[in-house]
Structure 1
Amino acid sequence: MPIHDWTRVRANRFHDFHQRWTIAICNEINAGRLPPGYFAMVEQKTGGPEPDVVTLELTPRPGIEPGGIAVDVAPPKARIVARAEAIGFARKANRITIRHPDGEVVAVIEIVSPGNKETRHAVRSFARKAVEFLLAGVNLLIVDLFPPSRRDPQGIHKLIWDYVRDEPFSLPPDKPLTVAAYADGPETTAYVEPIAVGDVLPEMPVFLAPGRYVPCPLETSYRIAWEQFPSPLKEPLEAPREP
């Protein structure tokens, strides 16, 4: 199945697909692809403790007339109002971990969300977190279906690799998307596959130990997630582009 142009829809639609896709990847990996005792899990990323949602009851205090205002629920007025929904969805996005029989995390699969590239801080934080995994001996697979921006002009791999080794890297102009596998070992090794909208996702390695890996079924799981994606949400992605 060809990769869709996810820049054509809002972040909430990709978030829905992202969650379905991570679950499909996890299920496919657990379906006999791992050595005995190893297992994959879907886990939610968090940027910190998630507070419980508290419902505020707007009941008048004793002695306050029903017409009085205790808490203002009208939208505050300001000359400029800015909103950024993509970052919130990135915080809620799933990641996949693969664990050794003793429970130790040996690999992480991350699918980049629009919010991961929404700001310079967000994209740098994503790259630093990836390097933290590598420094801790955790192998990585990064899937980025969003084209470079001014914050990552050569894609997410270049930002990650700059923390590991300072060397030139340029994406082919006709292949602006990236899938990259990172293997821990005596030396960190990156396996980078530039791709584009319309391509079929390649089968990439997920390393479990130095020299040992299993193929990640990106294409199969993408197709499964797409089949389950609601039809009304597919329409903008399937519509032909206007000239």
Structure 2
Amino acid sequence: MPIHDWARVDAGVFHGFHLRWIAEICKAMNNGLLPSGYYVDAEQVAERKEVDVLTLQMPTPVGSPAEPSDGGVAVVEAGIGHRVAGKVKKPKPRQRRLVLRHVTGHRVVALLELVSPGNKGRRTSAIEFAGKAYDAIEHGIHVTMIDLFPATRAAPHGLHNIIWRRYDRERVMPPLDRPLTLAAFTGSTPPEMFFEFRRVGEELPAFPVMLSATRGVFVPLAETYAAAFAGSPPYLRDLLTQPATT
């Protein structure tokens, strides 16, 4: 199914789809995509209304391997865009935010963020989104973000570049004809970023949620997107499948 033009609807309408897509991603990942010991669940970030998918790992005994031994693929071999940070800042002491303590006793491995219009509608919102992603990366948590909206005045180079500029002065710019961004940041030293760009009308690719600095699972974004869209109200399906009027 092609990506629809979600800029045609208001943020409240997209929020309903956002929730359905989160549910479909959870269902897909918890039914065979993840190695043993991993699972995902939906969590609400403190002080935010958006719901995020978390990849979590059961507590790992001290001295046990951190790399997944029975699943995931080497993402660097997948042929998608890849950058390694040119500089590494020493992490500053920061209070753990986001959802790092929401699942007691379970270690958070990765976050998957489906970007909402409100995340980039204002400069303060864009900085807050990027800052929380940066905090997660600094604490060793991998972050994947899926942004189906074009650049805004608040984030003219994309949310991914606000995050990436903390580590590298060279921006990773989307092509003019592919303004929608998929980015996966590793919580490693130095951080790395995997990325792809798409446009309205193209199909979403499978894209990684990282399990470690080198390995991840590829989420079937196109299939989960289609399932979520099929569960949308008829008026919304009709609106987004009809050509835009000028």
**TM over 0.5: same fold?**
yes
Q: What residue identity is the alignment partner of 1:205?
A: P
In structure 2, the residue matched to 1:97 is 54
- How far did residue 45 of structure 1 move? 2.1
Q: Partners in 2 of 1:203 and 1:131 — Cα distance?
A: 24
- Match for residue 107 of structure 1? 110
Q: Find out whether 1:15 has 2:3 as its counterpart.
A: no
How big is each residue's C-alpha offset from its partner over 1:83-118, in whole Å with a ceiling of 9 and x where there is no partner? xxxxxxxx3221001111221000000000011111
Partners of 1:158 and 1:233 in 2: CA distance: 31
SS at match of 2:165: helix
Separation in structure 1 between the aligned mates of residue 187 and residue 126 of structure 2, nearest angstrom: 22
Match for residue 226 of structure 1?
Answer: 229
| 8 Å CA contact 1:131, 1:164 repeated in 2 | no
Q: Does 1:172 align with 2:175?
A: yes
Larger radius of gyration: 1
CA distance in 2 between counterparts of 1:12 and 1:111 reads: 14
**Cα distance in 1, alignment partners of residues 46 and 235 from structure 2:** 29
Q: CA contact under 8 A between 1:134 and 1:140: conserved in structure 2?
A: yes
CA shift at 1:217, angstroms? 1.4
Q: Is the 8 A contact 2:139 2:187 kept in 1?
A: no
The superposition leaves residues 11-65 of structure 1 with CA deviations (integer Å, 9 ceiling, x where unpaired) of 1110000000011101100011111111101111231xxxxxxxxxxxxxxxxxx
Tell me how far apart the structure 2 counterparts of residues 124 and 234 of structure 1 sit (CA, whole Å): 32
Query: Does the 8 Å contact 1:175/1:195 carry over to 2?
Result: yes
Contact 2:164–2:171 under 8 Å retained in 1: no
* Rounded Cα–Cα distance in structure 2 between residues aligned with 1:193 and 1:163: 20
Deviation at 1:160, TM superposition (A): 1.0
Task: Figure out how many residues of one structure are paired with residues of the other and give that number.
Answer: 200
Q: Once superposed, what is the RMSD of the aligned Cα atoms?
A: 1.1
CA contact (8 A) 2:137 2:188 kept: no
Describe the superposition over 1:157-211 as per-residue Cα deviations: whole angstroms up to 9, x where unpaired. 1111011221133221000110001122232110110111011111111111122
Would you say 1:123 and 2:126 are equivalent positions? Answer: yes
